[in-house]
Amino acid sequence: MIFSLFKESFLFAWQSLRVNKLRSFLSLIGITIGIFAIILVFTIVDSLENNIKGSIQSLGNNVVYVQKWPWTFGPDYPWWKYINRPTPQYYELDEMQKRCKTTQAIAYRMGARKTLKYKSSSISNAVVAGISHEFYKIKNFDLTSGRYFTKAEVDAGYRICLVGAEIAKGLFGNQDPLGKQIKIAGNNATIIGVLKKEGESLLGISFDYQVITPFNFARIMMDTRSENADPIIYCKAKENISNSEMMDELTGVLRGIRRLKPGADVNFALNETSLLSKGFDDLFEIIGLAGWIIGGFSILVGGFGIANIMFVSVRERTNLIGIQKSLGAKNLFILIQFLSESVLLSLFGGLIGLLLTFLITFVGKSAVDLEITLSAANFILGVTISVLIGIISGFVPAYSASQMDPVEAIRTN
């Protein structure tokens, strides 16, 4: 009984939409634009968030970064408090390794952009990183061929290197890079390993475009005290040791190494990935709110448009409503009939908006190197909003139609 009621109501609604094609089309434009704006913003935000969080997770949740500048967000960043801080130095790494008990591994890294050459091939502004031996314990290296540095090679500053997948492709094409000698800023270096391709990273930490060398070789080409080298000390906690425990110990050890007085402010920053995650979460919330506001106005206009069309539709079919009620149609039947028409209008508009969103994401994948996908959750959200707008916009016209007196309705011209 209820199923047949809904079926007949939808058939009436569908027939009305087919007869008034132009009116129906104009009604759903506002809903289409609104759903398109909201779901497109959410889709892009979700894709960016997933890519950034994936990049952040690759850094490691149990890793703390000793740096000059803290990872904080906001307009009130007190840069003047940090500008005169010293950068982390390699000698501090040795002292930390001796004193720290909560760390599983401690490593040092610095980098700079240099020109690479192999015969007639060259790459400008390639990232060259100088690392300490335990860096592989912080960031696992997947090699397609070759091997990692030994501790003796790192300590002695052997002129050897690992090259990223894109660097290898740019310098050697289809040739095997292993054993070949390249020039890094005019210094010869032998390739002993090729890193597996990682893909793009929104945080700019992909090793595909990097050359990795032992620190004591890299210091020949870079100023270790320059902030431009972005020196970082990485500290990885032991199992069952929290970051907060490790950071408490690191604070005491670094204060001792830098000979800070008990009451003096620290002159270093201990950063962790949770700070990045929180900062990006706040940013995505703002962008998501902007999407709701932009799309909300379009949906509001579309909702008023549907309500207006439904009032017109009720007026045009007053005689038909009277005939239906005189033949035994219940108030609920009339209510569902006009509500169905309103929901269909809104739903069609929403589906067109979702289709446009899908097309934009499909084109966007080839235009930018970023995985953009219309998720099932966003699709369901778009459909749900469309249905709700249809119900809200059509309820008053539908209710007024259902309450008509059949005799008065039939007499209406």
Instruction: Please report, as a single letter, which amino acid is at residue 342.
Output: S
Same domain, 250 and 147: yes
Same domain, 92 and 239: yes
Residue 14 parent element (H or E): helix 2-19
Check residue 20 and give its pLDDT: 67
Q: Collapse the DSSP code of 109 into the 3-class scheme (helix H, G, I; strand E, B; otherwise coil) and give the result.
A: strand
Instruction: Give a yes or no: residue 61 inside a domain.
Output: no
Q: How many residues does the chain have?
A: 413
Distance CA 351, CA 178 (A): 54
Question: b or e along 195-214 (b: 16 or more beta carbons within 10 Å of the residue's beta carbon)?
Answer: beebeebbeeebbbbbbbbb
Q: Which of 217, 238, 267 is the last residue of a domain?
A: 267
Residue corresponding to tokens 């249905």: 387
Same domain, 222 and 102: yes
- Is residue 339 very low, low, confident or very high in pLDDT (cuts 50, 70, 90)? confident
Instruction: Give a yes or no: residue 79 inside a domain.
Output: no
Instruction: Give a yes or no: residue 121 inside a domain.
Output: yes
Same domain, 112 and 242: yes
Same domain, 232 and 285: no
Does pLDDT of 330 surpass 90? no
Q: Give me the mean pLDDT over the 281-307 stretch.
A: 74
Instruction: Give a yes or no: residue 69 inside a domain.
Output: no
Contacts of 309 (CB under 8 A, 6+ apart): 23, 24, 26, 27, 345
Which pair of tokens denotes residue 328?
A: 């035994």
Does pLDDT of 128 surpass 90? yes
Listed ranges 234-238, 278-282, 287-291, 370-374; the one with the highest mean pLDDT: 234-238
- Is residue 162 very low, low, confident or very high in pLDDT (cuts 50, 70, 90)? very high
Which pair of tokens denotes residue 20?
A: 């008034």
Does pLDDT of 3 surpass 70? no
Same domain, 313 and 407: yes
Contacts of 294 (CB under 8 A, 6+ apart): 37, 38, 41
Which structural domain range is residue 351 located in? 2-55+278-411
- In this predicted model, what pLDDT tens digit does every residue of 384-394 receive, in sequence order? 888 888 888 88
Report whether 103 contacts 247 (CB < 8 A): no
Same domain, 157 and 306: no
Tell me which of 60 and 120 has the higher pLDDT.
Answer: 120
Distance CA 284, CA 48 (A): 9
Task: Specify the number of domains making up the chain.
Answer: 2
Check residue 317 and give its pLDDT: 75
Q: Which of 211, 242, 267 is the last residue of a domain?
A: 267
User: Using CA atoms in the order 134, 137, 49, 377, what is the torsion angle rounded to 10 degrees?
Assistant: 180
Distance CA 181, CA 139 (A): 25
Same domain, 321 and 392: yes
CA dist 374 → 242, 318, 357 (Å): 37, 42, 7
Question: b or e along 28-39 (b: 16 or more beta carbons within 10 Å of the residue's beta carbon)?
Answer: bbbbbbbbbbbb
Instruction: Give a yes or no: residue 92 inside a domain.
Output: yes
Check residue 218 and give its pLDDT: 92
Does pLDDT of 52 surpass 70? no
Tell me which of 381 and 59 has the higher pLDDT.
Answer: 381
Q: Which of 207, 235, 267 is the last residue of a domain?
A: 267
Instruction: Give a yes or no: residue 180 inside a domain.
Output: yes
Same domain, 256 and 131: yes
Percent of residues, the chain, with pLDDT higher than 70? 83
Check residue 114 and give its pLDDT: 92
Instruction: Give a yes or no: residue 31 inside a domain.
Output: yes
Same domain, 94 and 177: yes
Same domain, 98 and 51: no
First to last CA, the chain: 33
Query: Please, what sign has the CA dihedral across residues 255, 258, 260, 262?
Result: positive
Q: Give me the mean pLDDT over the 129-152 stretch.
A: 88
Instruction: Give a yes or no: residue 63 inside a domain.
Output: no
Which pair of tokens denotes residue 386?
A: 């469309």
Same domain, 244 and 286: no
Instruction: Please report, as a single letter, which amino acid is at residue 240.
Output: N
